Amino acid sequence: MCENVTGNSHSLADQKKTDLERLFKKRRRDEDIVKTAKALLVHGMTPGKVALLLRLDPEFVAELAKTWNPKFRKVKYTSQYATKRTVRQYFDSGAMLEKICADLQLPLFSVITFLQRDGVSDQEMASRMPVSDDPLFIEFRKTISRKQAAPQRRSPRLHY
Q: What residues does each domain of the chain span? A: 11-67, 80-149
> In this predicted model, what pLDDT tens digit does every residue of 46-58 receive, in sequence order?
888 988 888 888 8
Confidence of residue 110 (pLDDT cuts 50, 70, 90): very high
Total Cβ atoms within 10 A of residue 53: 13
pLDDT digits (tens, 9 = 90+) for 66-81: 876 655 566 667 788 9
Sign of CA dihedral 104, 110, 111, 114: negative
Do 27 and 33 contact (CB within 8 A), yes or no?
yes
Mapped onto helix, strand or coil, the DSSP state of residue 158 is: coil
Amino acid letter, residue 8: N
From 141, 115, 138, select the one nearest 128 (Cα to Cα): 115
Tell me: pLDDT of 29 over 80.
no
What are the helix (H) ranges across the chain? 2-6, 8-28, 31-42, 47-54, 58-67, 80-92, 97-104, 108-117, 122-126, 135-149
What is the pLDDT averaged over residues 4-23?
61
Alpha-carbon distance of 52 to 45, in angstroms, equals: 11
